[in-house]
Amino acid sequence: MKFKFNLRRELKIGAALLVLFGLIAFTERMKGDVSLSRIQVSIRNLSENHFLDESDVLKLMRLDIDNLQGANLSDLNYSEIEGRIRKNPYVQDAELFSDLKGNLIVSVTLRRPVARIVQNNGPDAYIASDGTVMPVSQRFNSRVILVSGEFVPKFVSAANVHELEEGKQLMSMLEMIREDAFWNAQIAQVDIDRKARVTLYPQVGDEIIEIGKPENLDAKFRKLRVFYKDVLPRVGWNKYDRINVEYEGQVVAE
C-alpha cells in the first residue's frame, strides 16, 4: 500500500493542532488567573430521594467558604474535594469544575435506594441500586420494598451487599421485581431466613409465597405468575395461606 505525502494537507493538520493546543493552554491559563466568585451545587436524582441538599454538600466539601471568596481557583485541590464528597454513603459520584466567570460548579449524583432493610434488633438501612448499604435518614423515607429476616444483619454489616453471594442473588431478585410492573405492584416485602431461603409477602392477599433459595428465579416467577393469573381469580384471593414455588415443575398451595 503506497502512502502519498501531501504537504499542504499536513500543514493544515499541523496548524489546526497548534490552534487547538493553544486554545487549551489559553483556557487553562485564564482559569488559573480567575478568582472564586460563587459555588454552584447541582444534585442529580434529587427528585427521587432527598437524603442530601445543597447545604449538606457544602458541608461535605469542608471548605471555609467565607474566606475563599476571591481566592484563586487554581489553588483548590479538586480531586481531594471530590473525594471528601464521595465518602458520604448517599453519594454515588461527585465532580468539580469551574468556568471563566469564577463559578465553581459542584455536580453530585445521589444513589437510588431500591430496598429498605428492617431489623428487630438493629438499625434499619437502605440498599442502593449499586448494592451499597446506606443508613436511613430522618429527613426522608423512600417508599421501596422491605427486606427482613434473620439473614439481613449480614447485609447491614457489609459495605456493599455484592460482597456476599446471597447479596448478589438478592439484587438479581429485586431487579426482576422492580422491572416487572405486576410484581413491582404486588410484592411488598422479602424475608430471608438464616439459611438464605426467601419468603415473599404480597401487597394484596394474606398468603405468603415461599421461593426457597433465590435461584432459577425466571422459572419460579413464571409459575407464580400463572398461579396468580389463572388460579387465584377462580378460587379467590384469600383461598390459600401459603404458596410454594420452590420445587421444579410444581406449585404447592395450602
Which pLDDT belongs to residue 25? 47
Q: Which residues pair with 119 in a beta bridge?
A: none
Classify the phi-psi angles of 212: left when phi > 0, otherwise alpha if psi is within -120 to 50, otherwise beta. Answer: left
Exposed (0-12), middle (13-18) or buried (19+): which is 177, by Cβ within 10 Å?
buried
Q: Where are the domains of the chain?
A: 38-110, 113-253
Indicate the pTM of the whole model. 0.80
Which pLDDT belongs to residue 171? 95
Q: 38-110: what CATH class?
A: alpha beta
Which pLDDT belongs to residue 1? 47
Which pLDDT belongs to residue 181? 92
Residues whose CB falls within 8 Å of the CB of residue 129, separated by 6 or more in sequence, listed in order: 111, 112, 113, 114
Is residue 63 very low, low, confident or very high in pLDDT (cuts 50, 70, 90)? confident
More confident residue, 228 or 64: 228
Count helices and strands in the chain by DSSP H and E runs: 9, 12
CATH number of 113-253: 3.40.50.11690
Is the pLDDT assigned to residue 44 strictly greater than 90? no
What count of other Cβ atoms lies within 10 Å of the Cβ of residue 51?
24
More confident residue, 17 or 73: 73
More confident residue, 184 or 9: 184
List helix spans (H) across 6-151. 7-32, 54-61, 65-68, 78-86
What is the enclosing helix (H) or strand (E) of 148? Answer: strand 145-148
Nearest-5° Cα angle at 138, 133 to 143: 65
Is residue 249 very low, low, confident or very high in pLDDT (cuts 50, 70, 90)? confident
Distance CA 233, CA 241 (A): 15
Is residue 214 within 8 A of residue 175, CB to CB? The reply is no
CA dihedral 239, 245, 248, 254 (to 10 degrees): -30
